[in-house]
Amino acid sequence: MKDEPPADLIPDYTALMRLDDQVHVVLGAGNGMGQQSAHALAAFGATVVCVDLDAARAEAVAGEVKGIAWNGDITSRADVRRLFADVVAAKGRLDGVIDIVGLARAKPVVEYTDDDWAFHHDIVLRHAYLAIQYATEQWRALGTGGALTFVASAAGLLSAPGLGAYGAAKAALMSLVRTAAVELGPDGIRVNAVAPGVIRTPRSQGNPKWTDELVRANVERTPLRKLGYPPDVAGALLFFSSPLAGHVTGQTLVVDGGAGVVFNCESPS
Ligand SMILES: NC(=O)c1ccc[n+]([C@@H]2O[C@H](COP(=O)([O-])OP(=O)(O)OC[C@H]3O[C@@H](n4cnc5c(N)ncnc54)[C@H](O)[C@@H]3O)[C@@H](O)[C@H]2O)c1
């Protein structure tokens, strides 16, 4: 049994936010939330391994954060195994992994094809279980723990018409997070997720379906009366990755401006 009170009853909270000398891996670092996560981790002192399918994006973000670029496909078992082995061979340690990769193809549930279903399973879920397996392999060999943090979605917690297969895969991701947290807790490995609501990412900003009217409707439905942006998500991912969250595991933190807590009914008062 481990019951060791902290050496300092009042710790240095600023130090608990620092990631100096630490090595963190960001999966999907080339854009949006991944790029912001790489910046957030680097700002607190971490060396960031920027992983992306797009080699030029990985290089660009690694250059911005003075980190290391790594090009590969994280839905491939061989690539994920090689990635974590490379990181530990090069840096001798691994402290955290943020995995932001995920994508939705919107259509009604009755119209999904087997290909759509398999697509969501791979792009939302498959890489998460591979990352858990191969980061853990390295942590067990090193005899250290670390933090794994995934980007889920409010679509996995609430109904999201048009996003049935995506939402089902994100719900499975949050379930995987809880189970992995329980199985890996004794190894000192924490596993958490962030579930964003509507976020204006670079990808959505280039999408003509995002009309002014749609933006306005989403703002009005959100208690904080604004949309989220990638740094809002990166801040929550940074918290889970830092020693500040040292006793937090198996959790999903919703980052949605409060949209998910609104009871969508009128009451007569
Ligand atoms: N935008 C929203 O409103 C919203 C809401 C909830 C959740 N999310 C989730 O947020 C996450 C990030 O979204 P984003 O728009 O910031 O990301 P993005 O799509 O802009 O960037 C993803 C990055 O991952 C890389 N990538 C894709 N497949 C890869 C693979 N197989 N191997 C390695 N790299 C790969 C891409 O090249 C890209 O650089 C996703 O998981 C998404 O489901 C988004």
| pLDDT tens digits, 6-18 | 777 899 999 999 9
Q: Is 228 helix (H, G, I), strand (E, B) or coil?
A: strand
Q: Could you tell me if 33 and 195 are in contact, meaning their C-beta atoms sit under 8 angstroms apart?
A: no
Give the number of other CB atoms < 10 A from CB of residue 253.
18
- Does any domain span residue 116? yes
The pLDDT value given to residue 8: 78
| pLDDT tens digits, 113-154 | 999 999 999 999 999 999 999 999 999 999 999 999 999 999
Task: Extract long-range pairs of 112-115: CB within 8 Å, 24+ residues apart.
Answer: 112/164, 112/165
| pLDDT tens digits, 78-108 | 999 999 999 999 999 999 999 999 999 999 9
CATH number of the domain to which 102 belongs: 3.40.50.720
Q: Give the atom of ligand 1 at the shortest distance from the alpha carbon of 75.
A: 31
- Does any domain span residue 209? no
Mutate to test the pocket of ligand 1, among 39, 53, 209, 232 (most ligand atoms within 8 A of CB): 53
Q: What is the DSSP string of 150-179?
A: EE--GGGTS--TTBHHHHHHHHHHHHHHHH
Q: Give the atom of ligand 1 at the shortest distance from the alpha carbon of 52.
A: 34
Domain span at 117? 18-197+230-255
Q: What is the count of structural domains for the chain?
A: 1
Expressed in angstroms and rounded, the spacing between residue 22 Cα and the centre of ligand 1 is 24
- Does any domain span residue 223? no
Nearest to 101 by CA among 151, 54, 145, 146: 151
